[in-house]
């Protein structure tokens, strides 16, 4: 599973940020790794230079083998929270699309 990070002009796409985002996404989607070929992560600050609550946006687009891409979006106060929220939403979406892959006993 390849993870590609895209940021807007208001977010500094550092190596540390890329590593943190990749780790969060990989952990959330670990059980779907054989079905997901690529995840595109789009991070943006919707208010730009102004401050505001829940203005950090994370959109995740997952490319699946033999299926149309699916996408989810989450808004939060911090980038970390937005990535975590979007990763959880994507995991739930893939879970319902692909069914349970493992028995969680």
- The bridge status of strand 2-7 relative to strand 36-45 is parallel
Q: pLDDT truncated to tens, each residue of the chain (105 aa)?
A: 999 999 999 899 899 999 999 999 999 999 998 999 999 999 999 876 666 667 899 999 999 988 899 999 999 999 999 999 999 999 999 998 887 544 443
Q: What is the dihedral of CA 73, 78, 80, 82, to 10 degrees?
A: -10
| Residues in a beta bridge with 39 | 3, 62
CA–CA separation, 54 vs 84, rounded Å?
13
Which residue, among 34, 42, 41, 32, has the nearest Cα to 96 in the 3D structure?
32
Structural domains of the chain, ranges and CATH numbers in brackets: 2-48+56-98 (3.30.160.100)
């Amino acid at each position: 599973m390849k993870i590609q990070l895209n940021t807007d002009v208001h977010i500094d796409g550092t190596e540390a940020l890329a590593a943190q985002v990749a780790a969060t996404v990989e952990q959330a989607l670990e059980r779907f790794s054989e079905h997901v070929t690529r995840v595109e992560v789009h991070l943006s600050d919707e208010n730009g230079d102004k401050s505001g609550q829940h203005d950090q946006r994370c959109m995740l687009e997952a490319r699946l083998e033999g299926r149309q891409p699916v996408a989810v979006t989450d808004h939060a106060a911090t980038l970390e929270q937005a990535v975590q929220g979007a990763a959880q939403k994507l995991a739930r979406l893939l879970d319902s699309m692909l069914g349970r892959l493992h028995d969680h006993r």
